[in-house]
Structure 1
Amino acid sequence: MNAVLSAAALALSGMLLSSQLNAEPKRPECIAPAKPGGGFDITCKLAQMGLRDEGLLKSPIRVTYMPGGIGAVAYNAVVAQRPKDAGLITAWSSGSLLNLAQGKFGRYDEKAVRWLAAVGTDYGAVTVRADSPFRTLDDLIAALKKDPSGTVIGAGGTVGSQDWMQVALLARSAGVDPKALRYVAFEGGGEPITALLGGHVQAITSGIGETVVQRDAGKVRILAVMSDERLPGGLANVPTAKESGLDVSWPIIRGFYMGPQVSDEDYNWWKQQFDVLLASDTFGKLREQRDLLPFSMTGDELKDYVYKQVAQYKSLADEFGLIQ
């Protein structure tokens, strides 16, 4: 009897293994919905390296770039053109959810895709060039109070985007009208940094992970991070906006979604790989190297989180008159 049970268990195990192998995509791809160098790029490459290093994918993930509307072009392309693509995952961030809340992704809402995994969290930050006269966030705020349009602030995204919202919340908290600011919009997180280094803007807001490399190279100074408390490790010397009396916190969750018609088998295969990856100490170190903090969520738990966040962002956008 035991031999029969053992044989049955081995057969079942073999069937499960075969099913998993059949579900593994032959040409996995990650879309970064912006130009190279920003947070979406970081997110895709984190999955690319993590899944490879853990041996969870036989074929390496190919990263492709699809800029436009801070995720809108990619979102529409996945839903309308590649809804069943089992090998495709697409990077998203809290900024994607904010845009969805404002209807910036066209006719598709947050229920149009399958939310797969959240792999880490970043925080909003205010950054200037290393030679900037603004030594602290207080210096920048004082200049904005004196002349709101006298300092050019750059960020990835138009009015209503995540990076604009960071500026708007800081300004509002300091008693400055956000509409009076001189704001320059760029596509993605890489372009504002280039503009800052070139002297075309005097300050930028972004995810802190997008500016750390330039800070470590001595080219920029991070004035403040928008977290409740100072971040650990190499960022511990960066003050929070709250230390300047500005009650602003902006976490930036990063993760992946899939097309709406991807089969349960294929979706669950990817979910299993991310569940294993997110529990890995090696991946934790990889995430830390990119200045992301732990935030691990997959499947239905993530879907519920996304729906709740979009509802909260709708309320916030309404406060700023962004929803018509």
Structure 2
Amino acid sequence: MAQSPWRPTERINYIVGVAPGGTVDLYARGIKAALEQLQLTNHQPVVIENKVGAGGALALQQLKTNAGNAHDLGTFHTGAIAGAVTGLIRADPRDFTPVAMMVEETSLVAVRADSALKNASELVAALKADPTALRIAVAPALGQNTHMAISQPLKAAGVAIDKLTIAPFRSSGESITALLGGHVDVVSATAPVIMPQVKAGKLRVLASAAAQPGTGALAGIKTWREQGVAADYVSYNGVMLAPGVNAEQIRFWEDALRRVSQDKTWQAMVEQSGNRPIFRGYVESHRYLMSEWQAATELATSLGLKGAR
């Protein structure tokens, strides 16, 4: 690990803007465990604090309150960028310091196993004929990453995405329940939520929004690109710091999180969840934040979301 003059000298607060149980919380706890097990925090404990509310804005506000304090960690997530662009989250991720991207998340489009839809081409054909014909479940709100993940390829395929019938649910778990119950026809969600139902024979995946063909549990699932639609949508999960931290503090956490990304236990946990462990440091994370802000703004405008900015 590269030497840095700055080291934590007090408890590290890991502020997570969702309730325990989902993948965002799962990965934060995995990072905490690896930081402590690998002794990367100068013998300081890492404490998870689930600050739930306002679509994640309360967690960001708490992080912002402690500007310049590198003893506070927060979650860097694509969903927060999309939510801020559309006005769902009343906070601006660009005010913060993204220090590392740790997980590449795959979004899938699925239907019930008994659905007449067999692949992405049939879904596109149905929605081109009538964009309102199918109820599509997303979570936790319009304009979040699961909404964007199906809208991006459908737009590229020529579907009038501003006319789609989108049903937002509070969680992807609720989206799946609604799909299984016949209340919606299609769901867009991340792989860890969908794949258990696929293995149980209850759901069928029509397409993956990943840029590359999947491996492991996702082997054999065709991407949109493999089915003739030139689009993908990849979400990222990682770690951000408060505004106003300095270069030494960024360097310390970048080095520590790089070590976490190389840990076999961490890698196995992410892969078991259906996603891919990666590492992108501060420079790449910042570039991604700015480019994704622009891309999300353009897509949200196409969707007719009023908060797009």
Q: Could you state the TM-score of these two structures normalised by the residue count of structure 2?
A: 0.82
Would the alpha carbon gap of residues 93 and 154 (structure 1) be closer, same or farther in structure 2, given more than 3 Å must change?
same
Matched with 1:243 is 226
Higher-Rg structure is 1
Paired with 2:33 and 2:199, the residues of 1 have a C-alpha distance of: 22
Would the alpha carbon gap of residues 212 and 48 (structure 1) be closer, same or farther in structure 2, given more than 3 Å must change?
farther
Within the candidate set 280, 285, 300, 1:302 is matched to 285
Matched with 1:178 is 161
In the TM superposition, what whole-angstrom CA distance separates every residue of 1:280-319 from its partner, at most 9, and x where no partner exists? 3443333222222243122344223322332343344445
Task: Give the SS at the match of 1:227.
Answer: coil
Please state if 1:145 is matched with 2:128.
yes
**Contact 2:148 2:299 survives alignment (8 Å):** no
The structural deviation recorded for 1:237 is 1.3
Paired with 1:202 and 1:251, the residues of 2 have a C-alpha distance of: 23
**Contact 1:129 1:202 survives alignment (8 Å):** yes
Paired with 2:246 and 2:86, the residues of 1 have a C-alpha distance of: 29
Paired with 1:46 and 1:240, the residues of 2 have a C-alpha distance of: 28
Gaps of 5+ in 2: none
Please state if 1:163 is matched with 2:146.
yes
**Contact 1:156 1:185 survives alignment (8 Å):** yes
In the TM superposition, what whole-angstrom CA distance separates every residue of 1:80-130 from its partner, at most 9, and x where no partner exists? x44455443222322222333445543x43431121211021122102233
Task: Give the SS at the match of 2:207.
Answer: strand
Identical residues among aligned pairs (%): 25
Letter in 2 for 1:137: A
**Contact 1:44 1:63 survives alignment (8 Å):** no
Paired with 1:172 and 1:213, the residues of 2 have a C-alpha distance of: 28
The structural deviation recorded for 1:167 is 2.8
After superposition, the CA RMSD in angstroms is 3.1
Please state if 1:56 is matched with 2:45.
no
Matched with 1:6 is none
Within the candidate set 53, 63, 72, 1:78 is matched to 63
Letter in 2 for 1:47: I
In the TM superposition, what whole-angstrom CA distance separates every residue of 1:107-160 from its partner, at most 9, and x where no partner exists? x43431121211021122102233434333334334333443232111014333
**Contact 2:12 2:73 survives alignment (8 Å):** no
Gaps of 5+ in 1: 1-12
The structural deviation recorded for 1:177 is 1.5
The structural deviation recorded for 1:25 is 4.2
**Contact 2:162 2:304 survives alignment (8 Å):** no
Please state if 1:117 is matched with 2:100.
yes
Within the candidate set 53, 78, 83, 1:94 is matched to 78
The structural deviation recorded for 1:266 is 5.3
**Contact 2:63 2:73 survives alignment (8 Å):** no
Letter in 2 for 1:274: L
**Contact 1:39 1:207 survives alignment (8 Å):** no
Would the alpha carbon gap of residues 319 and 149 (structure 1) be closer, same or farther in structure 2, given more than 3 Å must change?
closer
